Every structure is written in C-alpha cells, then in structure tokens.
Homo-oligomer: A and B are copies of this chain.
Amino acid sequence: MKNVISAVCIKCGAEVAPTPDITVCPHCGGLLDIKYDYKYIASKVTAKDISERRDYSMWRYREFLPVEENTPNTPLRVGWSPFYEVPKLAEVLGIKQLWIKDDGINPTGSLKDRASAMAVAKAMEAKADTIACSSTGNAASSLAGNAAAAGLKTYIFVPSRAPKGKVAQLMIFGANVISVEGSYEETFRLSAEAIDRWGWYNRNAAINPYLVEGKKTVSLEIAEQLGFRMPDYVAVSVGDGCTIAGVWKGFKDLYQAGIIDRLPRLISVQAAGCCPLNTELQTGKPWQPMEENTIADSIAVGVPRNPDKALNAVRESNGIAVNVTDEEILGAMRLLGRTCGLFGEPAGVTGAAGIKKARQTGLIPADATVVGIISGNGLKDVNNAIKAAGEPISIAPDMKLLLEAFDKKGFNLK
C-alpha cells in the first residue's frame, strides 16, 4: 500500500505496521488510526480523475483506501448511494439548502455495508477464510451478506434478545449464528474468546481500524456528489461513534489531499434517551455509561466503543451536539417520507431529526447549507414505522361511506 504510511495509536501515538489483521495498539491497547501519505495521493489523483471514473461503488476511491493495489473489489455493489437535493424539506425546516444521502440503498440496507466490504477486502488480504463479529444489527447483516458474496465463512454472535428479523437475515446469508443467552457484553466477550481461539478475522467495531476507512467513503461520495464544494454542516446519527469518526476521516482525507478547500462542521445527533457522547460535548465532563432508552436501536449504545475518535471528530470540526427525543425521531420518519419519498429506520433518520432541532433551537442559521445522512433502510424496522405513520381510513366498500370518511377528514375534493 504505497498510499498508507502506518497505523497510529490515538492514545499513545505509537506507529504500527499496517498489516491486514491489526486490531488495537500492541503497546497500550488504544485504537489505531490509518495514516496516509497525502502527497503521494495528491500526486496520483485529482477531483477530475475521480469524476471521470465508471466504477460507481465505494471502490472508485482506491487512492484513499487502505487496500493493496491487487486486492479485488468486493462482489456486492456497495456505495454510490443516492444523493438528493430536497428543496421542499429545506423549506419546511427553514434552511437555505439541504441534501439527503440515502445510504439505506445499499445491498443489505445500511451504511454498515461500507465497513463490512472493507473488512471482507482486508480478510482476503490476510488470507483468512472466516470473519467473525458480535452485533445485533446492521454490522452483522452487512458482514454476513458481503462475506457470503465473497465466499467467506462468518461466525456471528448475537444476544438472544436480537430481533428475529435480523437473525433471519443472517441465517439467509448462511452465517453461523450463535445466539447467546446473556447480555450484549457477555456476547461480545464470548465472541472475542472465540476469535482469539480460532484465529478468525475480526470485524468487531472500533477494534478493527479498517472499518472506519470503509465508512469514510460516504463522505468521499458526498463531496463528489456536491462537485467537491463543501456544505456548512453534515449531520450524523451517533451510537458507538464509528460512523461519525468515519465521516470526518473522509472529509479530512480529501482536504489534506487538496481535493476540497474547506471542511464542514459536524452535527452529532444522539437519542435523548442514550446520549453519552453528546453529554460530554455539551457539558465538558467525561462521558458516563447510560441506559439504552430509545427506539433507535442501532444507535442505542450506552457504552460507546469508539468515543475518542468520535469526540475528536466533532471537536476538530467545530461541530455541534444535538439530542432528539423518540417523538422527534418518529416525526423525522414522517417528514422524510412525506416530503422526499425517503424511508429510513429510526436510527437512520436521527441525523435529519437533529437538523430540524438544530434549526429550531438556533444552533444553525437559516442561511446554512446542510447534508443529512440516512444510515439504514426503514424496512429494517417496520414496527416503528407503524408507530410513526398512523392509521389509514377504514371503511366497507361503498362510495357513500368513502364520501363520509373524506368529509370527516376534511378532504376538500371537487
């Protein structure tokens, strides 16, 4: 990898050789961050080069990715998700210009496909034939799908409380699923022990420094889809912190390679019922574990696994922190559906809910240009969609009854 210098520990600063199977710092156990040679990258690629490419997947940004030149693209078409300017929603929110990146349109329905595709690519480099992780949600299903397509085996540990539907998705992709009768913490520990014992490739969040590098491709795309002109703000829903860390890394990479000339400010959006990282950002006091009290299950993370990279990202960007209630999340689901035809899961629309809140509370000005990211498909969580959406008109098949029902609803039909 001529573009990669090393993996740097974000705690002690030690530099480690970027072999495909590194996890945490061998000296202090801190998380690692991939360090690039931006001069080399800048000598190899320009904005124009990128724009002319025909590979419409996350792999169009090879120069910015920590993979060997001969590592094949992963089989599923991950990335280059739709990017919509949404003037109607901008008007409703009182914002000058607004775009939504719909990352629910990915092979397994979430932004996590980007991280999992990267994990599969690195596992292939490591000549591993098996990848493992513990997760209850999108990380698991994206790993199972991307690995199956590449012919790799997976072992996935889920707590027994995991929703049946997500377990079914894993089973469909042929993952070896171990349902652990215990807490998520116990599940994680059993997975770690098993990974250690059998030497499987490790796709546990935060632990594997390449995952953030996959996630950052969402920012590379946002930049390109905006013609490399940066917006003022980018709003991201935040759980364990890996996604917002990835989003920031992507923008910084482009900036340091001279492809963009300014950086956006991040809006870190957490659920009010589970907002340890935002609490630190808002109060300045070190974060404390919180209960996981929100319908937005994918970001219900009381003990975030990547707090440092996430907090650094928001602070470096001169960003802001916004918490939203479950009601506000459900409201964002309705608003995105009705004004844009977009359908995100609760955690997926939390960023958009945060944009609304930030505008209402004056944290961002009316003349701002803002990007929101939908991180997961609404079909992943139909029960909460039902909660958000309300009930239809219900009548017997009779025109008279239809007229009465419309009248009662106040529909003014000619």
Which residues of chain A have a CB within 8 Å of any CB of chain B? 56, 75-77, 82, 84, 88, 102, 105-109, 144-151, 158, 160, 164-165, 167-174, 176-182, 186-187, 189-190, 193-194, 197-198, 333-334, 337-343, 377-380, 382, 385-386, 388-399, 402, 405, 411, 413-414
Contacts and interface: CB of A to CB of B under 8 A. Distances in A.
Contacts of A380: 379
Given A149-B340, A198-B413, A378 B334 contact: no
A390 B176 CA distance: 11
B165 A386 contact: yes
Given A178-B395, A189-B397, 9 more contacts: A76-B82, A108-B341, A145-B341, A147-B341, A172-B385, A173-B341, A176-B393, A176-B411, A186-B397
Given A149-B340, A173-B343, A341-B146, A395 B168 contact: no
A53 to B, nearest CB: 11
Nearest to A159: B397
A329 to B, nearest CB: 13
A339 B151 CA distance: 7
Nearest to A182: B397
Chain copies in the assembled complex: 2
A144 B182 CA distance: 41
Given A148-B341, A189-B397, A338-B173, A179 B389 contact: no
Chain A to chain B: the 3 pairs with minimum beta-carbon distance, closest first: A149-B341, A171-B389, A174-B338
A78 B386 CA distance: 25
Contacts of A165: 379, 382, 385-386
Nearest to A166: B382
A127 to B, nearest CB: 15
A148 B378 contact: no
Contacts of A84: 75-77, 149
B75 A399 contact: no
Contact of A172 (B164, B337, B394, B399): B337
Contacts of A393: 176-179
Given A82-B107, A165-B386, A193-B399, A337 B173 contact: yes
A321 to B, nearest CB: 28
